[in-house]
Amino acid sequence: MSELIQAVLESEEKNDLRAFVSQLRQQEKNYLLRNDILHVYSEYCAKNEQSEKLYTFSLLGKLLYYTQEIIQEDSNFCFIIRPHIASQEIYRVTADLSVEAMTVQELLDLRDRLVNKYHPNEGDLLELDFGPFYDYTPVIRDPKNIGKGVQYLNRYLSSKLFQDPKQWLESLFSFLRLHQYNGIQLLINNRIQSQQQLSQQVKKAIAFVTERPSDEPYDEFRFQLQTMGFEPGWGNTAQRVQETLNILDELIDSPDPQTLEAFISRVPMIFRIVLVSAHGWFGQEGVLGRPDTGGQVVYVLDQARNLEKQLQEDVLLAGLDGINVKPKVIILSRLIPNSDGTLCNERLEKVYGTDNAWILRVPLRDFNPNMTQNWISRFEFWPYLETFAIDSERELLAEFQGKPDLIVGNYTDGNLVAFLLARRMKVTQCNIAHALEKSKYLFSNLYWQDLDEKYHFSLQFTADLIAMNAANFVVSSTYQEIVGTPDSVGQYESYKCFTMPELYHVVNGIELFSPKFNVVPPGVNENYYFPYTRNQDRVESDRLRLDEMLFTLEDSSQIFGKLDDPNKRPIFSMARLDRIKNLTGLAECFGQSKDLQEHCNLILVAGKLRTEESDDNEERDEIVKLYHIIDEYNLHGKIRWLGVRLSKSDSGEIYRVIADRKGIFVQPALFEAFGLTILESMISGLPNFATQFGGPLEIIQDKVNGFYINPTNLTETATKILDFVTKCEQNPEYWETVSQKAIDRVYTTYTWKIHTTKLLSLARIYGFWNFTSKENREDLLRYLESLFYLIYKPRAQQLLEQHKYR
């Protein structure tokens, strides 16, 4: 039995539990989530005049704090308890307080009965369990180390080298012989025939390069090394070659995790990378602000630029520029013939500021031109992914003149395409979710049948299960994206156990303790986003133009609202107009606080101004809602709403213009997977007030370089902002202090240099792991293919039939 329940039952608080359970029976809801549970408990304590101590410090309070869900069925209650991160316990509690453990299967059946009370399942549902496929792979034990997979893997691999050095050194030797570029052998040649000979020749080569000038170029002693068995790839100078050979020598003689990572990170094995961002409106100009674009487009473009730059640096350091090695990065997206003035109808577009990074757009097959020649929402995109992957494989092979070395998926659709491509081409696959919709929409799996016509979650969640389990490694922006916080479930964690009534049960959807998970946060494009104090890098005409647009410009079809006093401190936010981004919530928070209106103006850069300009249902709803809030709270003269598309340079300067006026940035999302706008505004120098639900918890250090807000508590949010504004008015240096700490936070933790170095290191180490381990992934991949062809594909085909008549 749970220690938490046991402690309550063996204490004087047993009667409190009995009374609390009695109060639960009086609730209209029979399915309570954590906030509901704590609310009922708070009411219970108040009603019974119980002390604050009972609510906060009692055993019962502790039990209910860790209880994620309570489900009532007849007179019994099911308690789902999460005593630790990434763990779950399930108990049935009866009226007389007898407690028994429930299985996952029993819990899923109970949830099904809740949905289909009058039509219970006849017979068993398909049960998905990925657990057995992880039995033969190393597993992290301590939850604190989740997301540090590569560190664990390095320890595991180096310990294997100690345990069975002969086998592992043979694997290492075979791995080094594997690498070529366009038919040119790298690292070692046929003069070295065994791992014993490799060890001997490494020592000879070290002695040879040690005697040469440290800065002597590799090409000047290349042929001597070749006679010893060493081909290009060890370094560009005598010193670099010596360093790399020394690391290998140390790895052979006395392996440890740091040495293993240091060596594998230098192995030249990644030259061609595919970044998949499939659902479209992917371009460098005129695409932001469209449905389903925004942070992901910015992220992938910045990642592509910086990956190419890092690959070029790695090639140079490895001494491969002499054999004409040219790294290439391709962003794979869909071609949209009706591209509304953007370049989304161009097959190939070079990424600005790069030598060899490209956007490759592949058209969808014309099942129905009304659909396939136009933008398609990410929620409707599923029927086209398989044929898109097949067509893309041919295009990628032509562009690379061979196979890529790494495929990185972005978002669910891109990750599924990455799976299909990686499976066909036998290439390392990396997943980046950006957002997993399952956590964003409450009960989205439980009531999928009601939501499927609009969102098609049955396809999306199936695609998620396939892609995340197939991936060789998963990159998340934050720890909590994987396993949440002590009191909230992580995005990936939500896939551990769930039901889709009448479709399937997932009893073990993902192994959270697998070393495939790695936290690698993105960076900020420092060409566009930099501190407002760097006046030498700012364009004065842009500053004046954008200041006028934000605060005083009149008679513009893209601006709503005229400010009575433009000199008030600006509260600024910039995001898409959708429900999750919650800009309407910020407007309502501002509208409800007269004190805030006295001190500040609200400036929003968001989407469109008119419903007829949008083809996204959710955006249209939010436009109507925002106008209603402005009228309801009479915010005329106090708010500016800009429905503009901004270039990157303009969006960077807008943050700085707000900072010039000592403004603040508010990110009020109901949930934010990471928060790129938070990084952009912080590096610009803006104090941030950001949602406590999601990634901002790890970016911002509360009350140091920013502030957490609960966007569902409008009064509390307004009070926090007002307190800060009041402090700044009393002491202007306070704004400067928080501003500088925000800037420092980004530069020390969130740069693209840090990101790309780590990502490429991961790709090499997981490539090494897949080569050297005896892990048999084929059974897992066959299982995933069955899921794709037996569940995903038939449902996608049904949706495609609907699309034919639109």
Question: Is residue 118 over pLDDT 60?
Answer: no
Residue 109: inside a domain: no
What tokens does 359 get?
């956007």
Q: Which pLDDT belongs to residue 124?
A: 77
Which pairing describes strands 498-500 and 473-476: parallel, antiparallel, or unpaired?
unpaired
Q: For residue 121, what pLDDT band results from cuts at 50, 70 and 90? A: low
Which pairing describes strands 428-432 and 473-476: parallel, antiparallel, or unpaired?
parallel
Q: Which pLDDT belongs to residue 50?
A: 67
Name 112's Cβ contacts closer than 8 Å, sequence gap at least 6.
Answer: 120, 121, 125, 499, 501, 502
Q: Which pLDDT belongs to residue 227?
A: 96
| DSSP type of residue 221 | T
- Tell me which of 59, 83, 102 is where a domain ends: 102
Residue 108: inside a domain: no
356 versus 56: the higher-pLDDT residue is 356
- Tell me which of 712, 728, 750 is where a domain ends: 750
Q: Are residues 738 and 662 in the same domain?
A: yes
- Tell me which of 102, 117, 137 is where a domain ends: 102
Q: Which pLDDT belongs to residue 791?
A: 97
Residue type present at position 370: N
Q: What is the DSSP string of 550-580?
A: HHT--S-TTEE---S-TTSEEEEEE--SSTT
Contact by Cβ (8 Å): 311, 760? yes
Q: Are residues 45 and 164 in the same domain?
A: no
* Mean pLDDT, rounded, of the chain: 92
Q: Which pLDDT belongs to residue 289?
A: 65
Q: Which pLDDT belongs to residue 655?
A: 98
Q: Where residue 71 sits, what CATH number does that domain have?
A: 3.10.450.330
Q: What is the tens place of the pLDDT at every residue in 758-806? A: 999 999 999 998 888 766 689 999 999 999 999 999 999 999 999 988 8
Q: Where residue 242 sits, what CATH number does that domain have?
A: 1.20.120.1230
Question: Is residue 541 over pLDDT 60?
Answer: yes
Q: Are residues 198 and 303 in the same domain?
A: no
Q: Which pLDDT belongs to residue 615?
A: 79
Q: For residue 37, what pLDDT band results from cuts at 50, 70 and 90? A: very high
Q: Are residues 338 and 458 in the same domain?
A: yes
In this prediction the pTM is 0.85
Residue 66: inside a domain: yes
Q: Which helix (H) or strand (E) holds 423?
A: helix 411-425
Q: Averaged over 96-112, what is the pLDDT?
A: 93
Total domains, the chain: 4
Q: For residue 137, what pLDDT band results from cuts at 50, 70 and 90? A: confident
Q: Are residues 572 and 629 in the same domain?
A: yes
- Locate tokens 């054999």: which residue? 323
Q: Where residue 369 sits, what CATH number does that domain have?
A: 3.40.50.2000
Q: Are residues 761 and 735 in the same domain?
A: no
Residue 652: inside a domain: yes
Q: For residue 576, what pLDDT band results from cuts at 50, 70 and 90? A: confident
Contact by Cβ (8 Å): 243, 204? no
Residue 24: inside a domain: yes
Residue 131: inside a domain: no
Residue 138: inside a domain: no
**Which of the residue ranges 452-461, 643-652, 758-767 would you say has the lowest mean pLDDT?**
643-652
Q: Are residues 723 and 585 in the same domain?
A: yes
Q: Which pLDDT belongs to residue 76?
A: 93
Residue 529: inside a domain: no
Q: Are residues 406 and 320 in the same domain?
A: yes
Q: Which pLDDT belongs to residue 518?
A: 96
Q: Averaged over 185-211, what is the pLDDT?
A: 95
Q: Are residues 548 and 596 in the same domain?
A: yes
Q: Are residues 219 and 297 in the same domain?
A: no
Q: Are residues 623 and 544 in the same domain?
A: yes
Residue numbers of the domain that contains 659:
535-750
Q: Are residues 630 and 659 in the same domain?
A: yes
Question: Is residue 111 over pLDDT 90?
Answer: yes
Q: Measure the CA–CA gap between 665 and 295, rounded to whole angstroms.
A: 17
